[in-house]
Amino acid sequence: MSHSGAPAGAAPEHGPDAGGAPAFARAASVTPLLLLDGLSHRFGRVEALRGAALTVRPGTVHALLGENGAGKSTLMRAAFGLLQPDRGELRWKGAPHRLASPAAALRLGIGMVHQHFTLVPAMTVAENVALGGHGRFDPAQAAARVREVATRAGLTLDPDARVGTLPVGAQQRCEIVKALARDVELLILDEPTAVLAPGEAAELLAWVRRYADAGNAVVLITHKLRDALAVADDVTVLHRGRTVLTTRAADSSQEALAAAMIGDAATGHGNTGPATTGHADTGRADTADTVGTSSAGPVATGRVVLALDGVSVRDARGVLLLREVTLTVRAGEIVGVAAVEGAGQHQLLRVLAGRMDASSGRVQRPARVGFVPEDRHRDALLLDAPLFENAALRGAGARRGRMPWAALRAHTSALLARHDVRAPHAAVSARTLSGGNQQKFVLGRELADEPEALVVENPSRGLDFMATAAVQSALRAARDGGTAVVVYSSDLDEVLLLADRVVVMYAGQLIEVARTREAAGRAMLGSAR
């Protein structure tokens, strides 16, 4: 955890302050580059921000930590003009501003690289970078500008490549160049390592450090403690929309930060339970380096429920998305799938769940396989239909004759009770449920007819801590009940937490690895064994 020295001209540091006040900023004689204070904002009935604060010193890396739903992205979207907070003030170099749009933020010198890229796949890198300019457009000039900015920042990027054909890491570099081309002084990176393999992530973080050392400021939004402590100078922790901790990285520890993220005050109490906090990334998953944490069951010896033998999947254009995958999943075990975006896990899960056909190879699969997709609004729910109609979706394809609505209503009420889904009754529309309750409902629906296999994709995405815990324990309960479970999470720590066995997808191929961070990380990048 080495850091660059304090910015030139700063007063000597005061002692660590575990409270909310940014003592170091007051002490420094340098005006903060960006100051956010007392920001509050609601979306509908949800209070996303409750008086959050953030102070960024020039030339530093500032990590903004917090678990899912803490308000990190919301806070920085306000800083980038993507939303106008209900209350609070923003100061840039000491002067107050109201940012009405990203254009205003860019004019000040604030740039943002989003978690979900805002790149036009059909256009080239140069065109994407040039987007938002004025007047005549010269493709050659645009390409030259890309080369110039990329070289200056130390990134490699081909200006004429169509973004849709680039791998994720390159797309991210394009996003970064896009921001840098605007001559920004503060670069906000929103969960940049979420889509990268460990090796790529390390490269990116190293670049962030070099970039800050060159005199620029970076806000790194992340829920990964390790990443934050590796490169940050300052750290701010958000919990439930409030700033609960602001400190120099050097003056803090993983335990204190983790505690703050979960919501235990600076007393640094431990976690609320064994290994349910994968998202808070307390570093416990590090102990998975040694075999046999408490969450793993014995090596499964049940019968084979799911089996793929030499399975390949081609898309409409003939491109191979899965290459001769062989995998068996037995009853009573959880197989965790780790992969970077676009490695073929999407197709793997759907072939296992019977939602996609293999182009070649053998697939053994029971008649009933439960499937919980990543995008529940798009793929799992009829948002404007009552819950009992949503429950009736399961098996709708094969049903014949009349719909037994009375029985289905009763069945739905029972489902709501069994899985602790907070809904007034079975006839409310799915839209009225919170994200966590929707996910619990979907999981309950898929488990209702006691399927022999369950396939789950990013089960805790977008859920808060409590809902995440409920979902994870439901998965374990299914496993204990004899279901064969396959879980994919883009969060490697969650995979390591839940899985009895770990397999990794890389470029359409599947290999099994040891349940360690190191082994999985290397395999995710293609350097296996």
Q: Which residues bind another protein (CB under 8 A)?
A: 42-45, 101-103, 106, 112, 114, 116, 118-123, 127-128, 130-138, 178, 354-355, 371, 373, 378-385, 389, 392-403, 405, 442, 445
Kindly state the smallest distance separating residue 378's Cβ from another protein, in Å: 5
Kindly state the smallest distance separating residue 308's Cβ from another protein, in Å: 19
Closest CA to 505 of 315, 325, 288: 325
The strands making up 234-239's β-sheet, listed across from edge to edge, are: 110-113, 186-190, 217-222, 61-65, 234-239, 242-248
Residue 140 or 299: the one with the smaller Cβ distance to another protein is 140
Residue 205 or 353: the one with the smaller Cβ distance to another protein is 353
Locate 69 and state its tokens: 């739903």
Query: Dihedrals φ, ψ of 336, to 5°?
Result: -95, 135
Residue ranges in 154-253 assigned as alpha helix (H): 168-180, 198-213, 225-231
Residue 262 or 486: the one with the smaller Cβ distance to another protein is 486
Query: Dihedrals φ, ψ of 503, to 5°?
Result: -120, 150
The SS3 of residue 437 is: helix
Residue 191 or 389: the one with the smaller Cβ distance to another protein is 389
Kindly state the smallest distance separating residue 76's Cβ from another protein, in Å: 13
For the chain, how big is the Rg over CA atoms in Å? 24
- Residues 309, 277: Cα–Cα separation, whole Å: 35
Kindly state the smallest distance separating residue 312's Cβ from another protein, in Å: 22
Locate 131 and state its tokens: 């987007």
Kindly state the smallest distance separating residue 88's Cβ from another protein, in Å: 18
Residue 291 or 398: the one with the smaller Cβ distance to another protein is 398
Q: What is the DSSP letter of 31?
A: P
Residue 54 or 112: the one with the smaller Cβ distance to another protein is 112
Q: Could you give the count of Cα atoms lying within 13 Å of 290 in the half-sphere of its Cβ?
A: 4
Cβ-Cβ contacts under 8 Å for 229 (sequence gap 6 or more):
1, 63, 235, 249, 252, 254, 257
Query: Dihedrals φ, ψ of 88, to 5°?
Result: 120, 165
- Residues 422, 412: Cα–Cα separation, whole Å: 13
Residue 171 or 509: the one with the smaller Cβ distance to another protein is 171
Residue 27 or 137: the one with the smaller Cβ distance to another protein is 137
Kindly state the smallest distance separating residue 138's Cβ from another protein, in Å: 7
Locate 421 and state its tokens: 């889904």
Kindly state the smallest distance separating residue 431's Cβ from another protein, in Å: 11
